Amino acid sequence: MRLVLETRSQTPPALALGAPLLAVALTLVSAVLIFAALGQDPWRALQVYFIAPVSDSWGLQEVAVKATPLVLISVGLSLCYRSNNWNIGAEGQFLVGAMAGGWLALATHGAPNGPWLMPAMLAAGAAGGALFALIPAVLRTRFGANEILTSLMLVYVAELLLDWLVRGPWRDPQGFNMPVTVSFEPEAIVPLLLEGGRLNVGTPIALLVVVLAAVLVGRTLKGVEIRLVGEAPRAARFAGFDTNRLTLTVFAISGGLAGLAGVLEAAGTVKMLQPGLSPGYGFTAIIVAFLGRLNPVGCLVAGVFLAITFIGGENAQIMLRMPLDATRVIQGLLLFYVLACDTLLLYRPRLVASTPA
């Protein structure tokens, strides 16, 4: 017996929704097995991991706080991946955005500032992330350097730059030698949606970005270009689309969104700059983008799901003493299953009796 893939002439619409759900179901089954292997009661672990984070209003707010950067970054990445541009350095663009916005907050610290500061910080963050993402894009379009490798290498560079800044020039002199900056002033902190809550205006911004991206992909010529370049590059060339320009555009958009997520995280959630600013949002967002089938609305749903695994992982570490690496394993498995299930969309797998060669 062997497995044969038959190309489908068209994808059944129910499958487009079913495939990611199947991947999630398979991940949950695997999670149960992993929990059991770690000597946990699987049902209790499953409850702590996936149910507890969404069972009260505090938990739901936490999920939204964590989902916000994931959604922002993954929407940008989905535009890249759709057009066959492999930006895997969103983690670095996130950090550069946080540094660019944070620089404004620190430069105006103790000086008179006003309501202009917050919008300026957000703009600086987005610009910083976009410029940082343009480095691999330009190296690809001008020199043909592989953007996968260059964008990833720049993640390490951004991490080290942040590390240097908060240990050196930007360190809080009263911080007992801790590698942190001063806490941002109230004007430099992203306003909360509700007094006493955890949600800030970053979350509605992310929702707005999802809507804008959905319109861009589904309703504009740029969206057609993105899809065509990804699915049929030759046809796109004959249609006169400039693939180099598109590479620069999608890298700038995705870098800008990652940078925006970064400054929102620094000025909204953490309220200062420190080395461990991101728990790997930039890499997890890659999984979000694929789980969301490279579709902005899909990214929203997938972002919420992966935010749950982040919080569930933290809960499990505290309540069950489970290693935080278990979360990474589950996230990695999820991406495997998503990719495997995507095969169902393009091909009909069929077992046939092996024929002698």
Partner 1 sequence: MMLLEAIILTVITASTPLLIAALGELVVEKSGVLNLGVEGMMIMGAACGIAAAIFTGSSAAGVLAAILAGMAMAALFGALTLGLAANQVAAGLALAIFGLGLSGMVGAGFVGAQRAGIGKIEVPLLSDIPLLGPVLFNQDPFVYASFALVFLVARFLNRTKAGLVLRACGENHAAAHALGYPVLRIRFLAVLFGGACAGLAGAYMSLVLTPFWSSGMTGGRGWIALAIVVFASWLPGRAAVGAYLFGGITILQLHAQGAGLRVPPQLMSALPYLITIVVLVLIMRLRRGGAAGPASLGVPFVPDR
Distance CA 87, CA 260 (A): 16
Span interacting with partner 1, options 58-66, 201-209, 240-248, 343-351, rule CB under 8 A: 343-351
Q: Give, as ranges, the residues between 162 and 201 that touch partner 1 (CB under 8 A).
A: 163-164, 167-168
Q: Among 161, 193, 224, 345, which residue interacts with partner 1 (rule: CB under 8 A)?
A: 161
CB of 147 to partner 1, least distance (A): 10
State the Cα torsion 325-77-130-123 to the nearest 10°. Answer: -90
Say whether residue 14 binds partner 1 (CB under 8 A). Answer: no
Q: Which residue has the tokens 């899809």?
A: 227
- Specify the residue, 113 or 295, whose C-beta has the smaller distance to partner 1: 295
Residue 348's DSSP bridge partners are 6
Q: Which amino acid is at 63?
A: V
Q: What is the DSSP annotation of 271-332?
A: SS--TT--SSHHHHHHHHHHHTTT-HHHHHHHHHHHHHHHHHHHHHHHHS---THHHHHHHH
Distance CA 237, CA 54 (A): 47
Q: Among 286, 298, 306, 356, which residue interacts with partner 1 (rule: CB under 8 A)?
A: 286
CB of 357 to partner 1, least distance (A): 8
Say whether residue 231 binds partner 1 (CB under 8 A). Answer: no
Contacting residues for 165 by C-beta, under 8 A, at least 6 apart:
99, 273
| Per-residue burial over 168-191, b = 16 or more CB atoms within 10 Å of its CB, e = otherwise | eebbbeeeeeebbbbebbebbbbe
- Specify the residue, 41 or 325, whose C-beta has the smaller distance to partner 1: 325
Say whether residue 305 binds partner 1 (CB under 8 A). Answer: no
Site string for partner 1, 113-142 (x = CB under 8 A): --------------------------x---
Site string for partner 1, 42-71 (x = CB under 8 A): ------------------------------
Closest CA to 304 of 72, 27, 66, 91: 66
Using CB under 8 A as the binding criterion, the count of chain residues that bind partner 1 stands at 53
Cβ 121 vs Cβ 101: under 8 Å = yes
Q: Which residue has the tokens 């430069």?
A: 107
Span interacting with partner 1, options 23-31, 66-74, 157-165, 298-306, rule CB under 8 A: 157-165
Interface with partner 1 (CB under 8 A): 3-5, 7, 38, 81, 86, 88, 139, 143-146, 148-150, 152-154, 156-157, 160-161, 163-164, 167-168, 283, 286-287, 290, 323-333, 335-336, 339-340, 342-343, 346-347, 349, 352, 357
